[in-house]
Structure 1
Amino acid sequence: FLSTSRNKNLLLTIFQENFSTYINVLFEIHIDLSIETIILTDISSLSSISQDKEFLFNRNSLLKIDSIEYDSINNLWNIKLIASNNEKKCIHKYLKWIQKEMDYHSSMIYFGHLLWNELGQMNQAKNYFHILLKLLSNNDIDISKIYIELGHINNEIGEYNLALQNYQCALDIYQKQIPNDNINIASSLNNFGIVYKNMNKLNLAMNYYQQSLDIYESSCSENENRFHRTNPMINMGLAYRDKKDYDTALTYLTKVYNIQCDILPNDDPLLANSLINIGNIYRDKHNLNQALNYYQQALLIQEIAYSDDHLNKAKTIRIIGIIYYDKQDWQNALNYLNRTLKMYQCLLSNHNNIAMCYGDIGNVYEKMNDLDLAFNYYEQQFQIEEQYLCLSHPNLILHFDRIIDILKKKNQIEKAIELCKEKLLILKNILGIEYESHLRIARILILIATLYEDKNPREAHQYYEQALEILEHNKNEEIFQICLSTMINFYWKCRMFDRALMCQMKLLNLRRSTLSSNHLDVAYSLRDLARLYRAMNKSNEALQYFDQSLHILQSKYGSEHIDVKKIQKEIIDLKDIVKSLSSNADEDYNNRRCSNAHKAFFIMPQENLTSQSSTSSFDTKTKSSTSDSASAICVII
């Protein structure tokens, strides 16, 4: 029996007298006396404190958590419990769940498993399992499972090499103790695959998944261990999704769903997970209606499985909102995304998921061209992220960009510049000596430069140079490429071809150092470099880079792709120009031929003035009015 009191004020008085440094909790229990399964008796007359109003009730009473609230006045958590008469159904589900959870764990292992898997106490769980390793003998039956749990923890926190070491220790023990076709070995091989996938070694991961599946298929009958067999099947399906082999992924994931339908109740959350996995594949295939159908089926199951607000349900509602966004059904998108936001706000406190919802809703309003509301939601997203994300987190860069982009769309350039400069001052105080080398500073400098491009090109040039100096010493590939690309466009616009060429060369070298030699980004960098040389009247270099670009594009696309045909035409046209110039045809003929063949016209300075193109004034009007002795060259952009 549990002993408690009906005198709340007395309990609070006793609590204050025995104040604890631990977290203090008051359980407030509400019991309907008509519930027959609860045994209750008043023992006030037997109590040493008459005003206590003490009573007893049976410990196996089923109580439902109604609310958890913090009482700041009394410095305690108040947990409200309500007696339930739905005992049989709840107990049955609970026992079935516990039986499944305990299937491969002793109570000693299960305690540590709960520490990290349910409570998120990674360090405590890790320390607990290391203590067990010291206390237990090497031949204890639980040693292998301890190594597996340690591997799970390592994998969760990104310690992948340690995870592999612990999984290998478990596998070595299994291989000495049990036959090679045992399902524990199959499960261990699946664990290896999960880690290798997280290490972006997809082919190696799939190899381990297949080894795991082979053991299940060779050692188990069709109906044996069907539930555990689905784990490597799910992982294999997700791996094929990563490889963009969507049909094979669907085959695996649909098979998993069919197995689960045979062995699980209709409202089991695992069925919802499988439906979501299948929906994700259809979304990847751009079959939005089919994807939406699977997501909505998943939500129906979750509505039954989770009667109240739940994180899994919130995630599914968000996915449905995103699908409506993709379908450009803005009102339905807003309905689902606002519902997601409210659910997260009930479950979490200023969490990053709440920030994500603000961003999602802002996206919808931006598409609806309601820029004021979009700006407000983006700002709320960014404010939360600044509280919870590290200073160098990519979302802080990406989402500040979106705020500035909205201001540009509203033509509030001055406000955008002011906001960028304010952010630079704030970050300078926070970063201290790191200010001169931090990636966020480089990105904000690039933003300011783009804002100044039309208003004050000279100022834009200075900000670009500051950003480039930071990135030269701290080469974040993505931001460095963005910086170089925007600088190239800017210098093209200002006819500063030497500077554009320098940036284009850096961009090409960066892509060659990080990508395969026949990557499409390399091909397009070569094409852009060729066009730049053509604008500088350096035909031989232009033709050389055009040929290199064409070779890659043909190997990727074949000869009929539009980009292949465009470059072939550019090569032919440039060769015609070179040929016509070398034949000393009259200038009128050359100009007429070029104007028919090309889209843009540049006035190139004399050879002795070419070097000035990178240092002369940003005033494009001055640059277009050259002396009468300048040669006229037609080039393609």
Structure 2
Amino acid sequence: MANLALTYLELGNLGEAEKLQKKVLLLRKQVIEEHHPDILTSMAYLALTYVYVGKLKEAEQLQQEVLFLRRKVIGTEHPDTLVSMSNLALTYRQLGKLWEAEKLQKEVLLLQKVRIGEEHPHTLISMVNLALTYMQFGKLLEAEQLQETVLMLQKKVIGKQHPYTLNSMFNLASTYMQLGKLQEAEKLQEEGIFLQKEVIGEQHPQTLDSMGRLAVIYQVGGKSKGAEKLQKEVLLLQKKVIGDEHPATLTSMTNLTSIFLLLGKLQEAEKLHKEVFLLQKKVNREQHFNPLNSVNRLALTYQVCGKMEEAEKLQKGVLLLSKKVNGEEHPATLVSMNSLAKTYQVSGKLEEAEKLQKDVFLLSRRVFGEQHPATLTSMRSLAETYQASGKPEEAEKLQKEGISLSKRAMGEKHPTTLALQSNLVETYQISGRLEKAENLQEQLLLLCKEVHGEYHVNTLTAMQNLAETYRNLKKLDEAEKLQKELLLLHQEMNGNYHPDTLHCMGNLASTYIQLEKLNEAESLQEVLLFLCKEVYGERHADTLATINNLAKTYRRLGKLDTAKEMENESSQ
């Protein structure tokens, strides 16, 4: 029965697999003792089935139980226990519990390095998984460093043509692109494709997918003509090999649409957009599919890479096309308007941003109603532009209205409500009303801890902002207490060498100085200087600033010779 359940699982017959695995587990519990390895194996397979059918909460609960029992029965370093840890970490990641996933994956990786070595295939897989968690967490520098290590080891251990090695090359190329390292991304993607063609052939769907990703890198790197040529080649082959209704083919058509828009080929873009839309409607994979949303996402990539003119040009083309194809009040058109307005805002074109965001807000309210999430998002965006334009009164009025509507529609603990409150805090701070900011921040921090947990980025940001408000209000004891708590959390999450941890140390040291706790400031600044040199190097701006701050502390402590040495070091 157990083998049949696994066969069902491999064949994708998940309903039968789940049903049979539950039966096997029940029978085994009746026959053998509760902690027997066979029972734990049945529980583990049932949890895996839960993951496949999307029952992530049930999977998490069962995997936690399996891990607890395996630690107890066979020990933490047993291979089966390490597998359980890895599986639970992947479930955490799917549930968005990224800190828990990262913590568990780091533990697995450390144990595997000690037990089976850094070059063992299982260790390499764990490194890949941890890098992907870093990516999802937005920790791109950590992801890059780990992916470079993995790729080097995989080339050595399993060879550069192994599928795992090729995947690592493409993952690292993606990280490079997100970091704006376009030359490195292009070079690595081209190398991977060359190897892929040798191994599985030019017309293999995976090769075509890799070529499509290279076309995107070309496009973001300003090589629009090269991107157009390659994307057309990919699309032609995909239509031949996998058909024009395949999701990968539709993605390529959407990417080619964005290239046409950038090149000013509006007629070709419109024609292709309509073709994609009709094909998607025909296969009925997604009722509300809109190809232009993918183009808008590509524009965000341009923003990340600092290519604001290209982002603006692409979004203007999208908006023009959406108005023509869908109409001005269509949700897709409103999304395109909002995206373009955001680009205006980031580029400092605040008048253009404000004008467009007012249009979005009025249209959203008419089309969706005032309590719809899209309307609330447009209110938030417009208020941010008011804020940036030096119009705090208009920003405050709109933010308060948004908070009231959001509480009524979604409740006070909804992320949208919390985000609107966070924006109102900024407005209070800009206009110098620190007491109002303090009161709202204290409420917001409690809600963030309750909703997100204390390790979530929103909670940490709320703590940091409140501590800064305390400092500005000269409530230095409260600031110190909160900054210490924040530093401990960052040290637990990221370790001492992470930039966020170093930033927290610097803030706490400044508060110590304001409190005249010069010995504590000195000790912390000395640690901070050592870490800055390790992380950033001797001549980095943050390292030099830390040297100067420490020199000032030495002077206030009367350690004039040491202060002079520090000052000489910073001036060299």
Give me the TM-score of the superposition, normalised by structure 1.
0.51
Contact 2:235 / 2:253 at 8 angstroms: preserved in 1? yes
Contact 2:82 / 2:108 at 8 angstroms: preserved in 1? yes
2:327 is equivalent to residue 420 of structure 1 = yes
Pair 1:227–1:134, CA change in 2 (3 A): same
Gaps of 5+ in 1: 1-105, 425-438, 448-453, 491-496, 531-541, 557-637
Rg larger in 1 or in 2? Answer: 1
> Could you tell me how far apart the structure 2 residues matched to 1:212 and 1:516 are?
39
Alpha-carbon distance, 1:308 to partner: 6.0
Pair 1:397–1:253, CA change in 2 (3 A): closer
Pair 1:330–1:155, CA change in 2 (3 A): same
Deviations 1:276-299, CA, capped at 9 Å, x for gaps = 122222222211111112212222
Contact 2:326 / 2:332 at 8 angstroms: preserved in 1? no
Deviations 1:197-239, CA, capped at 9 Å, x for gaps = 222222111111122123223433566xx11122221122223
The correspondence for 2:7, drawn from 96, 111, 134, is 111
Deviations 1:406-428, CA, capped at 9 Å, x for gaps = 99869989x9478428x97xxxx
Gaps of 5+ in 2: 300-312, 340-351, 387-391, 407-414, 439-463, 470-572
Pair 1:198–1:471, CA change in 2 (3 A): farther
Contact 1:154 / 1:160 at 8 angstroms: preserved in 2? yes
Deviations 1:542-593, CA, capped at 9 Å, x for gaps = 6659x979x979969xxxxxxxxxxxxxxxxxxxxxxxxxxxxxxxxxxxxx
> Could you tell me how far apart the structure 1 residues matched to 2:338 and 2:195 are?
48
> Could you tell me how far apart the structure 2 residues matched to 1:243 and 1:372 are?
39
Contact 1:504 / 1:525 at 8 angstroms: preserved in 2? no
- Alignment correspondent of 2:460: none
Pair 1:410–1:392, CA change in 2 (3 A): closer
2:15 is equivalent to residue 129 of structure 1 = no
2:103 is equivalent to residue 196 of structure 1 = no
Alpha-carbon distance, 1:159 to partner: 2.3
Contact 1:318 / 1:337 at 8 angstroms: preserved in 2? yes
One-letter amino acid matched to 1:513: T
2:230 is equivalent to residue 336 of structure 1 = yes
Deviations 1:573-628, CA, capped at 9 Å, x for gaps = xxxxxxxxxxxxxxxxxxxxxxxxxxxxxxxxxxxxxxxxxxxxxxxxxxxxxxxx
The correspondence for 1:371, drawn from 257, 266, 270, is 266
Structure with greater helix share of residues: 2
2:154 is equivalent to residue 256 of structure 1 = no
SS at match of 1:200: coil
Alpha-carbon distance, 1:320 to partner: 0.6
Alpha-carbon distance, 1:498 to partner: 10
SS at match of 2:251: helix
What CA RMSD, in Å, does the superposition of the two structures yield over aligned residues?
A: 4.9
- Any residues of structure 2 matched to 1:148-159 within 5 Å, and which? 148-159=44-55
Pair 1:255–1:168, CA change in 2 (3 A): same
Alpha-carbon distance, 1:110 to partner: 5.1
2:70 is equivalent to residue 184 of structure 1 = no
Contact 1:115 / 1:124 at 8 angstroms: preserved in 2? no
The correspondence for 2:251, drawn from 356, 364, 377, is 356
> Could you tell me how far apart the structure 1 residues matched to 2:134 and 2:364 are?
44
Contact 1:321 / 1:334 at 8 angstroms: preserved in 2? yes
One-letter amino acid matched to 2:368: I
> Could you tell me how far apart the structure 1 residues matched to 2:67 and 2:104 are?
13
Pair 1:395–1:134, CA change in 2 (3 A): farther
Alpha-carbon distance, 1:440 to partner: 7.4
- Alignment correspondent of 1:164: 60
- Alignment correspondent of 1:621: none
One-letter amino acid matched to 2:200: Y
SS at match of 1:309: coil
SS at match of 2:161: coil
> Could you tell me how far apart the structure 1 residues matched to 2:44 and 2:183 are?
41
One-letter amino acid matched to 1:282: Y
The correspondence for 2:370, drawn from 450, 472, 484, is 472
One-letter amino acid matched to 2:182: L
> Could you tell me how far apart the structure 1 residues matched to 2:68 and 2:393 are?
62
- Alignment correspondent of 1:515: 419
- Alignment correspondent of 1:59: none
Pair 1:507–1:372, CA change in 2 (3 A): farther
> Could you tell me how far apart the structure 2 residues matched to 1:445 and 1:282 are?
29
Alpha-carbon distance, 1:187 to partner: 1.5
Deviations 1:60-102, CA, capped at 9 Å, x for gaps = xxxxxxxxxxxxxxxxxxxxxxxxxxxxxxxxxxxxxxxxxxx
Contact 2:209 / 2:248 at 8 angstroms: preserved in 1? no
2:196 is equivalent to residue 302 of structure 1 = yes
One-letter amino acid matched to 1:210: K
Contact 2:399 / 2:424 at 8 angstroms: preserved in 1? no
> Could you tell me how far apart the structure 1 residues matched to 2:173 and 2:210 are?
11
> Could you tell me how far apart the structure 2 residues matched to 1:211 and 1:352 are?
37
Contact 1:186 / 1:213 at 8 angstroms: preserved in 2? no
Pair 1:164–1:417, CA change in 2 (3 A): same
Deviations 1:289-313, CA, capped at 9 Å, x for gaps = 1111221222223223323633322
Contact 1:321 / 1:336 at 8 angstroms: preserved in 2? yes
SS at match of 2:113: helix
Alpha-carbon distance, 1:182 to partner: 0.4
- Alignment correspondent of 1:212: 108
Contact 2:205 / 2:242 at 8 angstroms: preserved in 1? yes
Pair 1:114–1:162, CA change in 2 (3 A): same
One-letter amino acid matched to 1:368: L
Contact 1:279 / 1:295 at 8 angstroms: preserved in 2? yes
> Could you tell me how far apart the structure 2 residues matched to 1:407 and 1:300 are?
33
- Alignment correspondent of 2:182: 288
Pair 1:144–1:471, CA change in 2 (3 A): farther
Alpha-carbon distance, 1:360 to partner: 0.8
> Could you tell me how far apart the structure 2 residues matched to 1:355 and 1:198 are?
26
Pair 1:398–1:262, CA change in 2 (3 A): closer
Alpha-carbon distance, 1:524 to partner: 6.8
Pair 1:289–1:462, CA change in 2 (3 A): closer
> Could you tell me how far apart the structure 2 residues matched to 1:194 and 1:275 are?
21
> Could you tell me how far apart the structure 2 residues matched to 1:442 and 1:285 are?
29
Contact 1:334 / 1:364 at 8 angstroms: preserved in 2? yes
Pair 1:233–1:555, CA change in 2 (3 A): same
Higher mean C-alpha deviation, range 296-305 or range 270-279: 296-305
Structure with greater strand share of residues: 1
One-letter amino acid matched to 1:129: Q
Contact 1:190 / 1:208 at 8 angstroms: preserved in 2? yes
> Could you tell me how far apart the structure 1 residues matched to 2:94 and 2:266 are?
38
Deviations 1:34-54, CA, capped at 9 Å, x for gaps = xxxxxxxxxxxxxxxxxxxxx
Contact 1:189 / 1:208 at 8 angstroms: preserved in 2? yes
2:179 is equivalent to residue 275 of structure 1 = no
SS at match of 1:369: coil
> Could you tell me how far apart the structure 2 residues matched to 1:238 and 1:108 are?
33
The percentage of aligned residue pairs carrying the same residue is 14
Alpha-carbon distance, 1:113 to partner: 4.3
Contact 2:258 / 2:314 at 8 angstroms: preserved in 1? no
Contact 1:310 / 1:347 at 8 angstroms: preserved in 2? no
Contact 2:383 / 2:396 at 8 angstroms: preserved in 1? no
Contact 1:253 / 1:274 at 8 angstroms: preserved in 2? yes
Pair 1:471–1:246, CA change in 2 (3 A): same
> Could you tell me how far apart the structure 1 residues matched to 2:189 and 2:285 are?
30
> Could you tell me how far apart the structure 1 residues matched to 2:111 and 2:399 are?
53
Contact 1:171 / 1:188 at 8 angstroms: preserved in 2? yes
